[in-house]
């Protein structure tokens, strides 16, 4: 079953009437459920733009984007948000945890947005924390955790709604090599469990863990078989 389908996708940013940036130029990309795919490319090649489209954080200028068989064309911001909540878990370079909240509360938040009853939230969040090996850190705040632990909390937060897709933008960019290995081991396990994982990275050894790597150059894709 195909989870992600991009056909002839273009993205043009119009910063003013005269200045337009053609960030994506005819992207065709197909990702099956359960695949582990890395997206590499130099700075400015369109990686974040592509991530925003796959993550339903932005929309195409031209072409087709389907996720899990649903065409996103013409969707409202509200409809896109619903898809994000139901199908996608995000992981960012800077973790994006709320510093005033415990790890447990951070992991619970997507369940609040998903409308999960209070009575079930804590148990599910605790389970997600246990899944990333941090059961005993539930009541710590981000500032009391190492970078690697914070990223594991962020992965627990991404997993707690049981999304089909984990979408990670430079997830190891702020981590040392030991923590990087922890995160990559988790991604391996998630793929074995049937999750689809898409990782954007500029690090070769991170991309090498994926089943295949696609390279972006100047808004266009070039597939390289690992």
Contact code string over 23-62 relative to ligand ADP, x by CB under 6 A = x-----------------x-xxxxxxx-------------
- 5, 28, 48, 93: which one contacts Mg ion (CB under 5 A)? 48
Rounded to whole angstroms, the Cα distance separating 105 from 46 reads 33
Choices 44-52, 140-148, 178-186, 216-224 (CB under 5 A): range interacting with Mg ion: 44-52
Partner interacting with residue 70 (select from ligand ADP, Mg ion, none; CB below 5-8 Å by kind): none
Q: DSSP letter at 133?
A: T
Task: Determine the residue with CB nearest Mg ion.
Answer: 48
Rounded to whole angstroms, the Cα distance separating 186 from 60 reads 31
CB nearer to ligand ADP: pick between 184 and 200: 200
Choices 9-17, 40-48, 59-67, 142-150 (CB under 5 A): range interacting with Mg ion: 40-48
Residue that is written with structure tokens 């079953």 in the block: 1
15 touches ligand ADP (CB under 6 A): yes
Q: What's the min distance (Å) between Cβ of 188 and ligand ADP?
A: 25
Long-range Cβ contact pairs of 144-150 (< 8 A, separation 24 or more)? 145/103, 146/179, 147/95, 147/174, 147/175, 147/176, 147/179, 148/175, 148/176, 148/178, 148/179, 148/180, 148/182, 148/183, 150/95, 150/97
Cβ–Cβ contacts within 10 Å for residue 189, how many?
12
CB nearer to ligand ADP: pick between 56 and 103: 56
CB nearer to Mg ion: pick between 48 and 211: 48
Rounded to whole angstroms, the Cα distance separating 24 from 216 reads 9
Structure tokens of 103? Answer: 């790890």
CB nearer to ligand ADP: pick between 8 and 44: 44
Residues forming the site for ligand ADP (CB under 6 A): 13, 15, 21, 23, 41, 43-49
């Amino acid at each position: 079953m195909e989870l992600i389908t991009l056909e002839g996708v273009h993205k043009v940013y119009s910063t003013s009437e005269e200045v337009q940036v053609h960030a994506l130029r005819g992207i065709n990309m197909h990702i099956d459920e359960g695949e582990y795919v890395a997206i590499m490319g130099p700075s400015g090649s369109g990686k974040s733009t592509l991530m925003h489209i796959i993550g339903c954080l932005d929309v195409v200028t031209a072409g087709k984007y389907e996720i899990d068989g649903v065409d996103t064309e013409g969707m409202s911001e509200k409809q896109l948000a619903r898809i994000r909540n139901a199908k996608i878990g995000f992981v960012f370079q800077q973790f994006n945890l709320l510093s005033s909240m415990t790890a447990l509360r951070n992991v619970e938040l997507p369940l609040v947005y998903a409308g999960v009853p209070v009575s079930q939230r804590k148990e599910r969040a605790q389970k997600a924390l246990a899944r990333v090996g941090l059961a005993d850190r539930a009541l710590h705040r981000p500032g009391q955790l190492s970078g690697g632990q914070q990223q594991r909390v962020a992965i627990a937060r991404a997993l707690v709604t049981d999304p089909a897709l984990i979408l990670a933008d430079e997830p190891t960019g702020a981590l040392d090599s030991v923590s990087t290995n922890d995160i990559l081991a988790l991604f391996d396990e998630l793929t074995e469990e049937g999750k689809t994982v898409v990782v954007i990275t500029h690090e070769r050894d991170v991309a090498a863990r994926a089943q295949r790597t696609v390279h972006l150059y100047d808004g266009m894709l070039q597939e390289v078989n690992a």
